[in-house]
A and B are shown apart, each in its own frame.
Chain A
């Protein structure tokens, strides 16, 4: 089954304790991205990756790092989590982000990871 898999689904941690949220897709998608969802703010893009070893900042990258060493994986790293990073996180992928008419830019989302930082 084509899917995006995120882990963990739920996590409670403390301020300053490094954590990684993993994201893996089995669709051979070039494009992957991370979002955080907060009440009243919708989905905001944190980082994205156009392909292996190519990443760039989205609208809210502060406090986060990413890497794309393999095409299928795109982990989100919080080096020193703070309470304002408490949120619902989604990973998503698409075949590419261009080619509007072909639908290659349609995002497939993972199930989400709810993170609480105390």
Chain B
């Protein structure tokens, strides 16, 4: 079945450094969603990308969808302690199944 590979699995950064997580698929994706899960919390929707080459920004977060729609990235500029958590990408391609990446756990050292 469809798989979405997410890297890295863990990332420790100093506060103020940048952070990037990547999702890759061997097949073309119709869409990709990003969720954030705070420690001890539940996943919360961040954004959805649908168009080839799409770039969306939310304050210090930049989301990209690859031109071939096979990969996506989430970049955080100048991390803060509030960015701590696990970031997941997810694909459902308009079907009823959702495939989640394995997540990237971000720790920010003050």
Contacts and interface: CB of A to CB of B under 8 A. Distances in A.
Interface in A89-112: 90, 92, 97-101, 103, 105-112
B43 A106 contact: no
B43 A43 contact: yes
Interface stretch (B12-20, B56-64, B76-84, B93-101): B93-101
B96 A48 contact: yes
A75 B55 CA distance: 38
Contacts of B92: 97, 105
A107 B42 contact: no
Interface residues of B, number: 27
Contacts of B90: 43, 107
B96 A112 contact: no
Contact of B45 (A43, A106, A110): A106
Q: Which of A40, A43, A107, A108 has the most CB of B within 10 A?
A: A43
Interface of B: 1, 6, 9, 30-31, 33, 35, 41-45, 48, 50, 88, 90, 92, 94-103
